[in-house]
Structure 1
């Protein structure tokens, strides 16, 4: 399946078409650097689209463009039938009911001076939900991410990285969104904690029908999480299709190189695979 074929869907929750983003270089005469070069894809209701590529490929910029955090030079972003690529700040605040994000670093994404309860109540109160109802919702959110009710009275520093990421997930769920952008949500965690958080995200999706745009550099993680996969390289989607096909029989040499760079238990084999992958990724 080509990237164009994978992008055509009549029931998409999120549609991205011809997305281009560029940034100015340092200095007044420095040329612009094009980070995204006409990217197109869909995310359907209730599914996970894995967006995978190495550092600098443009994958995080896609998520930030959807969230309105970077300016779009051209192309369209349509969410639930509404064009949002140029949405003003007031509309963006309204859109946060349906469109949320979980960032990579659980240590910096939470305000260290707020209790967990205040952190979770903040978006609820900001959208006009009363204090009593907000307190009840905080308890529901903690239960959903398998944290005890007394966690509401504690500060982020009292929790491990995995627990903090659960809090970040609970905060993203507070307004009952339809789509969550997960930007490398487990890359800062150890392997055991990583699996626990991934299982939690899958459980939440099964219970709520939420959709994820899952941004990662790890093909094994995207295979575990995703219904469909889009592989991005130097600002272009080079391969897209269902997760099983892309991660077991990749067609593009860049996707094959990503597979070779994934860790394996055999150390000499790992060294050989990474040397092979390094030559491909640099080309």
Structure 2
């Protein structure tokens, strides 16, 4: 993976032909939260979002902090209520379903959260952390624990990790554990909510390469949420750009990131970090000129 802006690597990849119906589909999705104060109006965070993810596809959802991108991921996961609109998975509505139905969806939809330092239970051994989702789905304990070694192999961690606690691992290794946990029950979709933003650039590359390798091997689909367009385009087939709760641009990842139509997308592209400080300063000045030109 390359965080400087190159598109994902060449290769046959998953079949993303038009014959596939969407695996995940959100239609006219609205999400709002109570305002501050008893009489304050509700704050609308998502305003009619429509977005789909096909089997084996990675769709990047990118925007600045407060744009609503993480709220969209949480709405898909059932962690926030949907005010209106629908979310369907493999043709079945999943918005605002019962807790029992949501637990059953855990077999098909998993998540990797942003912070590897807080997303793992610090008091659980890694072996127990990885066995837990299997046991929750009814797999016998002994069989679940026997499968943990294979999970560690898939994310290139040593098998003796089962006897260690999360604090004994680096941030990148912890995120590998989180990915292994998400893979434990062979999901069809993984929501990746800023999964590399807490990591240094070198570790980001390692984790992103791992996600690509897993997708090529298993055909899992990703909804990849991030504020960093340069990271999103390195992994995604398609990208949707979210500004203030609305999608302002969507399209093929390479086209959108090389020749964006919307001024907000252009500003996001210019804000992506580069290693050269002189070039970074030039990009900052260009971003400021772009903002001035686009502001009425």
Q: Same fold (TM over 0.5)?
A: yes
CA shift digits 1:192-213 (9 cap, x unpaired): 1110000000000001000000
- Could you say which residue in structure 1 is the equivalent of 2:41? 31
Q: Are 1:177 and 2:219 an aligned pair?
A: no
CA shift digits 1:205-247 (9 cap, x unpaired): 0010000000001111111100010010010001111110011
Q: How many residues align?
A: 276
Classify the secondary structure of the residue corresponding to 1:260. helix
Cα distance, 1:259 vs structure 2: 0.7
Q: Aligned partners of 1:237 and 1:10: how far apart in 2?
A: 23
Q: Aligned partners of 1:97 and 1:149: how far apart in 2?
A: 24
CA shift digits 1:124-175 (9 cap, x unpaired): 1111101221112111110000001110111001000000000000000111
Cα distance, 1:275 vs structure 2: 4.2
Classify the secondary structure of the residue corresponding to 2:147. helix
Which residue, 167, 178, 183 being the options, matches 1:168?
A: 178
- Could you say which residue in structure 1 is the equivalent of 2:236? 226
TM-score, normalising length from structure 1?
0.94
Cα distance, 1:265 vs structure 2: 3.1
CA contact (8 A) 1:117 1:151 kept: yes
- Could you say which residue in structure 2 is the equivalent of 1:4? none
Cα RMSD (Å) of the superposition? 1.6
Classify the secondary structure of the residue corresponding to 2:56. coil
Q: Are 1:127 and 2:137 an aligned pair?
A: yes
CA contact (8 A) 2:20 2:54 kept: no
Q: Are 1:262 and 2:272 an aligned pair?
A: yes
Q: Aligned partners of 2:185 and 2:220: how far apart in 1?
A: 12
TM-score, normalising length from structure 2?
0.90
Q: Aligned partners of 1:169 and 1:259: how far apart in 2?
A: 28
Which residue, 245, 252, 260 being the options, matches 2:262?
A: 252
Cα distance, 1:101 vs structure 2: 0.3
* Structure 2, gaps ≥5 residues long: 1-17
* Structure 1, gaps ≥5 residues long: 1-7
Residues 10/76 of structure 1: CA separation in 2 closer, same or farther (3 Å cut)? farther
- Could you say which residue in structure 2 is the equivalent of 1:3? none
- Could you say which residue in structure 1 is the equivalent of 2:110? 100
What are the equivalent positions in structure 2 for 1:1-283 lying under 5 Å apart? 11-277=21-287, 280=291, 283=295
CA shift digits 1:49-85 (9 cap, x unpaired): 0001111110000000000001111000000111011
